[in-house]
Homo-oligomer: A and B are copies of this chain.
Amino acid sequence: MEINDFLNHTSEWLRGTGPNSDVVISSRIRLARNLANVPFSHRANKKQSEETLQSIEAALSLVEQLKKSRNFHLSDLDGIDRQFLIERHLMSLEFVKSSNSKAVVIEKDETIAIMINEEDHLRIQVLQSGLNLFEAYNIISVIDDMLSKQLSYAFSADLGFLTACPTNIGTGMRGSVMLHLPALVMSRQINRVLAAVSKLSFTTRGLYGEGTQASGNFFQVSNQVSLGHSEEEILQNLNGLIRQLIEQEHQARQALITDNRALVEDRVWRSYGILKSAHIITSQETIELLSMVRLGVDLKIVKDIDCGAVNELFILTQPAHLQKIEGRKLSSQERDAKRAELVHEKIAKLEKK
């Protein structure tokens, strides 16, 4: 599998299926693990990092779940490839800051991605569509168990798994759920909701994780606490919170459609109209307009288009994806024009169906 092969299928996290997929885009579990008796990535020398890479690669090659995976060494990936994998949520912004002895192993269906020598020696990620935290956890646990037989993890009986950043010590686990909350945003309840989430020791982030802003009404909610609770407790808490957020978004959607149907229809159809007619469009604006179209699909205002098709456009219109599709580097201006073209083509195809 080459990087370009990813273009031929939609990422798991954007498939638009799975439980509660009208509100929940995807569920993600990430485990941070480090090798015992090796300095953390940022303290390790070149030789140590290289050895870490090799020993982890050897261990991964024995994992049944990764038999259709492909291993990409970061040093082999150009800037567009890197951005491309970040856009697909298969690699972190942190990871690409330097490329020494780093690799990412990606299972073909993109549900599993493992970064080697990120902030921690090992960052294992499992992504599922919809609200599917426990299924993701089941998958990641099996992988983690298998790896722990091959690798000696840095572990303290008192603290649990040791990690480069103290916030990850303990379970080393972060559960994240990507939510689409347009009705809570439109009804101006979102700030109150996010404040409550934050008080409950969960964090909210934008589409691309830490340090990114919410855009297109997408919010990623994760556990902040990793220490002092079992994985199951953390996930139960997170899952319970997400269920409440889903309920609130549902109520907000119902209120919108009952009290302001004409306004919502106007927003949805205008967004659709602009996507169909713009000749220059930024990725930011595209996400915001697609978010409204997606809401329109969920509310049965837009009937010709299914939610997976809208989701596909979210990812295909990202900067590196556009450049992969075109097969060359594009300036920001060129991208904005190509993006508009791509959106026209895709929508025209969908409408013909």
Q: In whole Å, how far is A300's beta carbon from the nearest beta carbon of chain B?
A: 15
- Please indicate the chain B residues that have their CB under 8 angstroms from the CB of A266 in the complex: 278-281, 340
Q: Which of A88-96, A185-193, A267-275 contacts B (4 or more CB under 8 A)?
A: A267-275
Bound complex: CA of A273 vs CA of B269, how far in Å? 10
Q: Are B280 and A262 in contact (CB under 8 A)?
A: yes
Indicate if A276 sits at the interface (CB-CB under 8 A): yes
Identify which of A263, A269, A273, A279 gathers the most chain B CB atoms within 10 Å of its CB.
A279
- Within A145-162, the residues touching B (CB, 8 Å) are none
Q: In whole Å, how far is A68's beta carbon from the nearest beta carbon of chain B?
A: 43
Indicate if A277 sits at the interface (CB-CB under 8 A): yes
Q: Are A270 and B274 in contact (CB under 8 A)?
A: yes
Indicate if A337 sits at the interface (CB-CB under 8 A): yes
- Consensus secondary structure, chain A interface: helix
Bound complex: CA of A306 vs CA of B86, how far in Å? 48
**Number of copies of this protein chain within its complex:** 2
Q: In whole Å, how far is A28's beta carbon from the nearest beta carbon of chain B?
A: 35
Q: Are A279 and B269 in contact (CB under 8 A)?
A: yes
Contact of A265 among B262, B270, B279 (CB under 8 A): B279
Q: In whole Å, how far is A186's beta carbon from the nearest beta carbon of chain B?
A: 14
Bound complex: CA of A276 vs CA of B274, how far in Å? 10
Contact of A277 among B273, B279, B337 (CB under 8 A): B273
Q: Are B262 and A273 in contact (CB under 8 A)?
A: no
- Within A259-302, the residues touching B (CB, 8 Å) are 262-263, 265-266, 269-270, 272-274, 276-281
Q: Which residue of B lies closest to A261 (CB)?
A: B279
Q: Which residue of B lies closest to A280 (CB)?
A: B266
- Please indicate the chain B residues that have their CB under 8 angstroms from the CB of A277 in the complex: 269-270, 272-274, 276
Q: Are B280 and A263 in contact (CB under 8 A)?
A: yes
- Please indicate the chain B residues that have their CB under 8 angstroms from the CB of A265 in the complex: 279
Contact of A274 among B262, B273, B333, B337 (CB under 8 A): B273
Bound complex: CA of A278 vs CA of B277, how far in Å? 13
Bound complex: CA of A279 vs CA of B301, how far in Å? 12
Bound complex: CA of A96 vs CA of B292, how far in Å? 44
- Please indicate the chain B residues that have their CB under 8 angstroms from the CB of A276 in the complex: 273, 277
Q: In whole Å, how far is A279's beta carbon from the nearest beta carbon of chain B?
A: 4
Q: In whole Å, how far is A1's beta carbon from the nearest beta carbon of chain B?
A: 36
- Residue pairs across A and B with Cβ atoms less than 8 A apart, 10 shown, are A262-B333, A266-B278, A266-B340, A269-B278, A269-B279, A270-B274, A270-B277, A270-B279, A273-B278, A276-B277
- List 15 additional A-B contacts (Cβ < 8 Å) besides A269-B277, A270-B279, A273-B276: A262-B279, A262-B333, A262-B337, A263-B280, A266-B279, A266-B281, A266-B340, A269-B278, A269-B279, A270-B274, A270-B278, A273-B273, A273-B277, A273-B278, A276-B277
